[in-house]
Amino acid sequence: MSFNLDQFRLDGKVAVVTGAGGRGNSIGRAYALGLANAGASVVVADLNEAGAQTVAEEIVAGGGKAIGVQVDVANEASTLAMAAAAIKAFGGVDVLVNNAALMVDISYDNFETVSMDAWHKAFAVNLEGALLCSRAVVPSMRGRGGGRIVNQTSGGAFPASGLYGITKLALVGLTTSLAKQFGKDGITCNAIAPGNVKSDAGKLLVPDDSPFIQYLSMTCAMRPRGEPDELVGTLLLLCSEAGAWITGQTIHVDGGWVLRP
């Protein structure tokens, strides 16, 4: 069959997006709206229950299908309840976007002083959260003949960038391993590594007058900062039939920061 643009559509599919209900202009919100615009029913999942409901209501008000669910991705029972809520509302799960993470609220302390509690919490949310959410939805995906898992890593995983970067680099390892294990079930697993994104959280962490922006301007092939919406096209590729043969990959969406010397 020849290629058709409809292969990017997600009509009839069910997508779960974690970390989609937090700070106002978030990447998770852009992902949830983008998946809904492509036709998917969306489970907007976040620790912040009110925020998840707000984004779900925004999708429904725009004519889409969505529910808001509270989840703590670091808690196995909570991830199983999220999967159960998705199945109850929409019959199953086809797409999981592991986007929830600690980024602003994370310890960037010196390795000599960082508390082991902070260290474990960062890994519990940013790495183990993706494992628990994946395990919670894979049986449903398998039963539906396949699925898509997309892990939100970061361009910050690749230069030395402290505890946050280490958790995100570990997530790349989880991505390739899940891809290998679940490939025969028709489940792909890929990662998106954004550069510096002007989400509300991103602007909090890196204000416009930060010296880091000057560094990015010198090292990026293109403009140094992107908008949450500029990640959505890559997500739709990885979540749709158009990306059915892509697995185990990390796609950098970063204005060419990955090309830095």
Q: Show which residues are catalytic.
A: 164
Q: Output 22 or 64, the one with its CB closest to ligand NAD.
A: 22
Provide φ and ψ at 190, rounded to 5°: -135, 170
Q: Does 22 bind ligand NAD (CB under 6 A)?
A: yes
Number of chain positions touching ligand NAD (CB under 6 A): 30
Between 9 and 124, name the residue whose CB sits nearer to ligand NAD.
Answer: 124
Q: Pick left, alpha or beta for residue 234 (phi over 0 → left; psi -120 to 50 → alpha; otherwise beta).
A: alpha
Residue of 64, 202, 243, 255 that binds ligand NAD (CB under 6 A)? 202
171, 198, 242 from 2: Cα distances, Å: 34, 37, 11
- Contact (Cβ atoms closer than 8 angstroms) between residue 131 and residue 174: yes
What tokens were used for 43?
């489970």
Q: Whole-number minimum distance, CB 74 to ligand NAD, in Å? A: 5
27 near ligand NAD, judged by CB under 6 A? yes
User: Minimum distance from CB of 145 to ligand NAD (Å)?
Assistant: 28
Tell me if 32 contacts ligand NAD by CB under 6 A: no
Q: Stretches 14-22, 36-44, 174-182, 243-251: which one binds ligand NAD (CB under 6 A)?
A: 14-22
Closer residue to ligand NAD, CB minimum distance, 38 or 197: 197
User: Rounded to whole angstroms, how far apart are CA atoms 149 and 133?
Assistant: 10
Q: Are 134 and 98 in contact (CB under 8 A)?
A: yes
42 lies in the binding site for ligand NAD (CB under 6 A): no
Give me the residues paired with residue 41 across strands.
14, 65
Minimum Å gap between C-beta 78 and ligand NAD is 8
The yes or no reply on residue 48 touching ligand NAD (CB under 6 A) is yes
Shortest spacing between CB 200 and ligand NAD, in angstroms: 6
Amino acid at 109: D
Measured in Å, how far apart are the chain's first and last C-alpha atoms? Answer: 42
Query: Minimal CB distance to ligand NAD: which residue?
Result: 22
Smallest distance from the beta carbon of 34 to ligand NAD, in angstroms?
Answer: 13
- Spatial distance between the Cα atoms of 142 and 162, rounded to a whole number of angstroms: 36
Interaction mask 50-89, ligand NAD, x per CB under 6 A: ---------------------xxxx---------------
In the chain, % helix, strand, coil (3-state, to 5) comes to 50, 15, 35
**CB within 8 A of 117, min separation 6: which ones?**
none
Q: Find, among 98, 121, 261, 110, the residue nearest to 175 by Cα.
A: 98
Task: Report the residue number, 46 or 94, with the smaller CB distance to ligand NAD.
Answer: 46
Residues that bind ligand NAD (CB under 6 A): 18-19, 21-23, 26-28, 46-48, 71-74, 99-104, 125, 152, 154, 194, 196-197, 199, 201-202
